[in-house]
Amino acid sequence: MLAMTPEELIAMAREAGERAYAPYSRFAVGAALLGRSGRVYTACNVENVSYGLSICAERAAVFKAVSEGEREFEALAVVTSCGGPPCGACRQVLAEFGSDVTVYVADTEGHYRTFTVEELLPAAFLPEDLPR
């Protein structure tokens, strides 16, 4: 059960997106990741003139959470101007931490769709797929 409403998590992601550094794409993204601990980790996308060195908001939020000791997640809210879903790289990173994580994909007006990581990335490559 969520410790906050989807709308509250989306509002936190929207606020994080306002801090995005996106001078090249002009596509600001905000993310808010709710850990099982109840703590929320927010992040925005940060672009670089060498495009491959950019980081998506979703991955930044996961890496921030993991670097602070969180390993289990309840939900992620992602906000873009058009309500676009996470990219493939972000989906794969999310899958590492649970296919049942709820993902709210919202636009800046607050309209959103709800998915699980598994719905966004069916047949993901997971730790159990590696030979032991």
67, part of any domain? yes
What was the pLDDT predicted at 2?
61
Q: Whole domain around residue 73: which residue ranges?
A: 6-129
115, part of any domain? yes
- Structural domain tally of the chain? 1
Answer yes or no: are the C-beta atoms of 36 and 24 closer than 8 Å: no
CATH number at residue 26: 3.40.140.10
Answer yes or no: are the C-beta atoms of 40 and 14 closer than 8 Å: no
16, part of any domain? yes
Give the active site residues.
58
27, part of any domain? yes
Q: How does residue 90 score in pLDDT terms, banded at 50, 70 and 90? A: very high
Q: Is the pLDDT of residue 128 over 80?
A: yes
Tell me the pLDDT of the chain averaged across its residues. Answer: 96
pTM: 0.95
